[in-house]
Structure 1
Amino acid sequence: MFSLLSSVLMSVIIVLISSSFGWWGVIWACQVNAISSSVKSFMVVEVAYLGFSGSFYCDEVSSGFVWLSGFVTGLSLLSMSDLLCGEAKSFFFAVSGLFVVLSVCFGTSSVLVFYMLFEISLIPTLSLICGWGYQPERLRAGKYMMVYTVGASLPLLGFIVFVFFDGGTLSFVLLFSVGMKFLNWVVFLCAMMAFLVKSPAYMVHGWLPKAHVEAPVAGSMFLAGVLLKLGGYGLLRFVAVFGLWSGVVLSCLTCLCLFGGVVASIICCCQVDVKSLVAYSSVGHMSLVLGGLMSESFWGLGGSYLLMLAHGLSSCGLFYLVGELYKVYGSRMLFVMRGGVGNLFGVNLWLAFMCGFNAAAPPSLSLWSEVILCISLISYSMWFSGLVGVLGFLSCLYSWSMYCGTQTGCYPLWVRSFGQISYTFGQGVICSGIVFLMTALSLCCEHSKFSYLKKFFFEYDK
């Protein structure tokens, strides 16, 4: 984590001297450190580290999200490499600043610092949407995002103040050792609302499709790849540290999340805008994550963590390929994107991989994480088996419908072509990195210890 941060900060200094050197420096630093961190986080040796006098706590969960942030940062910069000849520095600083904020947010051991960075991450995200968005409606999309997320996080601030006066500390580690429990359902909802909106759960997801549609490619990759995981990460931490279990309310929220995921998947099947389809698919996948986090089981939390990593990689690749198709066809409508087979070989190959990963096709980390979550949710209640089954079926349906819809039909004569070698090279670097991580992590995820979660459940059972 610290080597990754130092590499990015060094590249920020270099970019002040030469834009191209700093740009490519941070891309290579993020990719190399992300791959090394991912290997370390899935080793048999447990990962748990306290640094800077207890200010940072890095275990298997937080290290996974840190390397995911670094990996998506490198991919987002590579996807917008055409800005090197224009306004490169401002975009570079926005992306690098967002990465630093997210890395410290995932690694901090202070509840208050986590909340502050949780909110500060909205500022560079808003600058990406409003500064490099495609349509004039991007200002409205940014307003929706700010109103939803900031308004829902204010009760969380009150909860943190209450924790400080009651427990005398704001350290995750100390609060976990004390074992503070809050069983009041009102406190539960106030603390969880900020994370449910950020994830997002159905009925509070209205900001996400608007933000995705108006955001540039790099903004969509960050939103789907990392920013949505802040909600799941916060929910995982707060549930484990504060014991935020509330029987009836928890069951109702789990039902709402799963039912909302089914509704969002049905909306995906009816979408004609490819970017909106991928955005609503994120709501469907994250609903399964939220259901696992609220299942009160060790495997539910572990499966949710793995699915967040898998979804962060697959959705990042899908948004990138949708942006590449937009460059060719000049439109995001499915009835315009036709006849890709035999004409766009590179994009077609990588799109088949990403749609397969989105549908949890083997061998991928998505498959194993969804199997774990299905078992966990069905063990929680047999009534969830129908919703989980429909959710999995619809996920396969809209993923392969999107792929087949872009491949069949007549290829328009007026579309542009990927004649430049740089385009094909960029697609290969970005998508091959995602494919490698999705398949490699599926093979070594069995080594995940999750010592932090195991310790919590041993204490909770007592």
Structure 2
Amino acid sequence: MLKYLFMIIFLIPLCLLNNCWWLVHSLMFLSSFIFMVLVYSFSDLSMISYFFGVDYFSFNLILLSFWICSLMITASGSVYFSSYHSNFFISIILFLLIMLFCSFSSLSLFSFYIFFESSLVPTLLLILGWGFQPERLQAGIYLIFYTLVASLPLLLVLFKIYNCSCTLYFPLLIDFGSYYFMFYIFIFLAFLVSMPMFLFHLWLPKAHVEAPISGSMILAGVLLKLGGYGIFRVMKLISFLGVKFNYFWLSLGLFGGFVVSFICFRQADLKSLIAYSSVAHMSMVIGGLMTMNWWGCMGSLTLMIGHGLCSSGLFCLSNIIYERLGSRSLLINKGMINLMPSMSLWWFLLSSSNMAAPPSLNLFGELGLLNSIISWSSFSFIMLIFLFFFSAVYTLYMYSYSQHGLYYSGVYTCSLGFLREYHLLLLHWLPLNILCLKSEYFYF
């Protein structure tokens, strides 16, 4: 377990070298392949060191973190070519990967909390250091304040839990029954704000729009999944109260996804549209986790991984256009099929995955969540119908508006993508659609 951690830690001194970019990049991919091949286990908690262990749920999310962090370096070629503090940039990404690795493999609630909060610091540095507009300061403050203010009560809850049960070790935690209602509220508040849930989601579109491509990729790909993973881990603590009160979060999640879908139709900024669609997808994950059944947990894991790859790929596409035209506005980015015909295929492939077309992982995840939420209450099918329908509507709106139509008169050239960009998009799309062949892996 620790060998992977040491591998990442020892990559950090390489960042002091000149021209280390592609070396670190290649070694990151190598480490993610080694992790993928060697750590396959169906046991309960394998590779336990003193504080760290990996089970089935966290293995998938650590692998996703490795993969997205490696792709972040591929996507951020402009940082390297403009020599804009590229060594510092790569060291921040490695530090972020260490934090994510530790938070997904923590066996203690307290260490999970520490690493969960620490992962926000490198993300904030990415937004402040490499973001585009001056508003990035405001976006960074939104990100930190929303997540920190919501998580501080969780720290108090952890001390109280330790006081009651004398341990914060995950397998030894017990359900306190109806002992303390505030546990339940504070624990959920911390994780739901970082997911983010409707009503607490305002920091996400702001952070996405101001972040550089690497910041958007890690936010959409992995950081939103930390909340879902946290809920999965503490479910055992709050199952008694969860049976009574989860209907509130589930209903709010589904209703929020429905409302956010309407907000998506009104977006003129590509990044903002993809960010709001993330909120709509995460609302289904919240619904699946709140049902507390096996279909829900496995469905939410599948959708989290599918959404991480798909959303990250869509952000890469919007960044490719931004680098060519200097704008993300849909009013300027019309008729892209004339300007970049070869990218149109990738827009189609990733948009179809975003609306859960087969054979993407999103389809498996959404079918699992459909089963889970309808088994919890058959009336929820009304909201689910709207959610699925509108997710197709706003994805089609994004695709057809950006690819078709009369292109902006200021653009007179035809532009092809670089090999690096096609490689990047292929590495998002391939796992997203190949993993469906191993669907029993997600619902074993």
- TM-score, scaled relative to structure 2: 0.94
1:50-129 superposed matches below 5 A: 50-53=47-50, 55-84=51-80, 85-129=83-127
1:256-271 superposed matches below 5 A: 256-271=252-267
Q: Distance in 2 between matches of 1:350 and 1:416?
A: 22
2:279 to 260, 276, 283: 283
| 1:9 alignment counterpart | 9
1:314 to 306, 310, 313: 310
For the pair 1:49 / 2:46, whether they are aligned, the reply is: yes
| 1:438 alignment counterpart | 432
Moved more, 214-223 or 426-435: 426-435
Report sequence identity in percent.
37
Q: Distance in 2 between matches of 1:309 and 1:240?
A: 23
Judged with a 3 Å threshold, the aligned counterparts in structure 2 of structure 1 residues 168 and 262 are, in CA distance, closer, same or farther, namely same
Q: Distance in 1 between matches of 2:330 and 2:442?
A: 40
Q: Quote how far apart the aligned CAs of 1:232 are.
A: 0.6
Judged with a 3 Å threshold, the aligned counterparts in structure 2 of structure 1 residues 4 and 430 are, in CA distance, closer, same or farther, namely farther
For the pair 1:150 / 2:151, whether they are aligned, the reply is: no
1:12-27 superposed matches below 5 A: 12-18=12-18, 20-21=19-20, 23-27=21-25
| 2:172 alignment counterpart | 174
2:322 to 313, 321, 326: 326
Judged with a 3 Å threshold, the aligned counterparts in structure 2 of structure 1 residues 277 and 40 are, in CA distance, closer, same or farther, namely farther
Q: Distance in 1 between matches of 2:128 and 2:412?
A: 27
Moved more, 100-109 or 247-256: 247-256
Q: Quote how far apart the aligned CAs of 1:96 are.
A: 1.1
Q: Distance in 2 between matches of 1:352 and 1:245?
A: 44
Q: Distance in 1 between matches of 2:412 and 2:144?
A: 36
User: What amino acid is the match of 1:276?
Assistant: S
Judged with a 3 Å threshold, the aligned counterparts in structure 2 of structure 1 residues 240 and 430 are, in CA distance, closer, same or farther, namely farther
| 1:455 alignment counterpart | none
- TM-score, scaled relative to structure 1: 0.91
Q: Quote how far apart the aligned CAs of 1:414 are.
A: 2.8
Task: Please tell me whether the aligned partners of residues 353 and 435 of structure 1 are also in contact (alpha carbons under 8 angstroms).
Answer: yes
| 2:222 alignment counterpart | 226
1:34-66 deviations in Å (ceiling 9; x for gaps): 34544667x68446314323x111011111111
Task: Please tell me whether the aligned partners of residues 330 and 401 of structure 2 are also in contact (alpha carbons under 8 angstroms).
Answer: yes
1:275-299 deviations in Å (ceiling 9; x for gaps): 1100100100000000000012111
Task: Please tell me whether the aligned partners of residues 131 and 212 of structure 2 are also in contact (alpha carbons under 8 angstroms).
Answer: yes
For the pair 1:140 / 2:135, whether they are aligned, the reply is: no
Q: Distance in 2 between matches of 1:244 and 1:133?
A: 44
Q: Quote how far apart the aligned CAs of 1:417 are.
A: 5.7
Moved more, 335-344 or 352-361: 335-344
Q: Quote how far apart the aligned CAs of 1:111 are.
A: 0.9
User: What amino acid is the match of 1:148?
Assistant: Y
Task: Tell me the SS of whatever aligns to 1:49.
Answer: coil
1:159 to 157, 164, 178: 157
1:91-129 deviations in Å (ceiling 9; x for gaps): 111111111111111111111111111111111111111
Task: Please tell me whether the aligned partners of residues 4 and 35 of structure 2 are also in contact (alpha carbons under 8 angstroms).
Answer: no
Task: Tell me the SS of whatever aligns to 1:322.
Answer: helix
Judged with a 3 Å threshold, the aligned counterparts in structure 2 of structure 1 residues 8 and 413 are, in CA distance, closer, same or farther, namely farther
Task: Please tell me whether the aligned partners of residues 92 and 122 of structure 2 are also in contact (alpha carbons under 8 angstroms).
Answer: yes
Task: Please tell me whether the aligned partners of residues 105 and 114 of structure 1 are also in contact (alpha carbons under 8 angstroms).
Answer: yes
Task: Tell me the SS of whatever aligns to 1:254.
Answer: helix
Judged with a 3 Å threshold, the aligned counterparts in structure 2 of structure 1 residues 45 and 122 are, in CA distance, closer, same or farther, namely closer
User: What amino acid is the match of 1:13?
Assistant: P
Task: Please tell me whether the aligned partners of residues 298 and 443 of structure 2 are also in contact (alpha carbons under 8 angstroms).
Answer: no
2:404 to 408, 411, 429: 408
| 1:426 alignment counterpart | 420
Q: Distance in 2 between matches of 1:417 and 1:327?
A: 14
User: What amino acid is the match of 2:355?
Assistant: A
1:370-422 deviations in Å (ceiling 9; x for gaps): 001001101100111010110000001111111111111122353386757xx
Q: Distance in 1 between matches of 2:43 and 2:362?
A: 23
Judged with a 3 Å threshold, the aligned counterparts in structure 2 of structure 1 residues 449 and 2 are, in CA distance, closer, same or farther, namely farther
Q: Distance in 2 between matches of 1:174 and 1:418?
A: 61
Moved more, 28-37 or 433-442: 28-37
Task: Please tell me whether the aligned partners of residues 182 and 188 of structure 1 are also in contact (alpha carbons under 8 angstroms).
Answer: no
| 2:365 alignment counterpart | 369
- Structure 1 stretches of 5 or more lacking a match? 451-462
- Structure 2 stretches of 5 or more lacking a match? none
1:231-287 deviations in Å (ceiling 9; x for gaps): 111011111355364334210110000000010111101211111100100100000
For the pair 1:352 / 2:332, whether they are aligned, the reply is: no
| 2:393 alignment counterpart | 397
Task: Please tell me whether the aligned partners of residues 346 and 424 of structure 1 are also in contact (alpha carbons under 8 angstroms).
Answer: no
Over the aligned positions, Cα root-mean-square deviation in angstroms equals 2.0
User: What amino acid is the match of 1:180?
Assistant: D
Q: Distance in 1 between matches of 2:243 and 2:38?
A: 37
Judged with a 3 Å threshold, the aligned counterparts in structure 2 of structure 1 residues 100 and 207 are, in CA distance, closer, same or farther, namely same
How many residues were matched structurally? 441
